[in-house]
């Protein structure tokens, strides 16, 4: 018997979709933590490095990491001790310290990102239309912060 034009499986309920988002988010971070660990980094250290495509003040890092500013001191301390980042006082406002990647830090970020991408083999197999649709759906469910 030919299948009908409608999808062969029923559409998931919002609750079922939420559960699947939970599994996907867990899988993403399980991957990321494993890739960071291959470079001797914790999850938070890896996240911090990957946020430093451009130099950022400590305060901004705290906002992006969704943690208190006092935590960032220790995280950046450890990254700095390993030579992956350094602090620079901002000339315009000497209260601010910008954190930026060293060359070794940049190389580490490149490797982690490459490892992540090769782990997400499903992404490369998506068509242009599928990637476009995926992006649109993610944006609708997780909108960018308005501010």
Chain centre distance of CA 88: 24
Q: Which helix (H) or strand (E) holds 25?
A: helix 14-38
Pick from 11, 81, 92, 147 the residue near a second copy by CB under 8 A: 11
Pick from 1, 5, 66, 81 the residue near a second copy by CB under 8 A: 66
DSSP code string of 131-144: HHHHHHHHHHHSPP
Task: Answer for the pair 145, 63: CB distance below 8 angstroms, yes or no.
Answer: no
Count the neighbouring beta carbons within 10 Å of the beta carbon of residue 18.
Answer: 11
Residue 44 binds DNA, judged by CB under 7 A:
yes
Considering only residues 59 to 98 of the shown chain, the ones binding DNA according to CB under 7 A are 59-60, 65-78, 87, 93-98
Stretch that binds a second copy, among 13-21, 78-86, 87-95, 97-105 (CB under 8 A): 13-21
Pick from 12, 73, 88, 89 the residue near a second copy by CB under 8 A: 12
Residue 60 binds a second copy, judged by CB under 8 A:
no
Distance from C-alpha of 38 to C-alpha of 42, rounded to nearest angstrom: 10
Total residues at interface with a second copy (CB under 8 A): 52
Stretch that binds a second copy, among 4-12, 70-78, 93-101, 102-110 (CB under 8 A): 4-12
Task: Answer for the pair 65, 24: CB distance below 8 angstroms, yes or no.
Answer: no
User: Nearest distance from residue 88's CB to a second copy, in Å?
Assistant: 25
Q: What are the structure tokens assigned to 70, written together? A: 């006092």
Residue 111 binds DNA, judged by CB under 7 A:
no
């Amino acid at each position: 018997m030919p299948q009908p034009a409608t999808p062969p499986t029923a559409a998931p309920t919002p609750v079922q979709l939420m559960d699947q988002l939970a599994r996907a988010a867990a899988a993403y971070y399980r991957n990321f933590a494993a890739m960071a660990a291959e470079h001797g980094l914790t999850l938070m250290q890896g996240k911090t490095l990957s946020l430093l495509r451009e130099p950022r003040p400590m305060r901004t890092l705290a906002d992006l990491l969704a943690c208190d500013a006092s935590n960032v001191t220790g995280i950046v301390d450890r990254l700095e001790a390993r030579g992956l980042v350094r602090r620079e006082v901002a000339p315009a406002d000497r209260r601010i310290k910008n954190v930026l990647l060293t060359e070794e830090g940049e190389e580490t970020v490149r490797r982690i990102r490459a490892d992540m991408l090769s782990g997400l083999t499903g992404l490369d197999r998506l068509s242009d239309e599928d990637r476009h649709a995926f992006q649109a759906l993610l944006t609708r469910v997780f909108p960018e912060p308005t501010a």
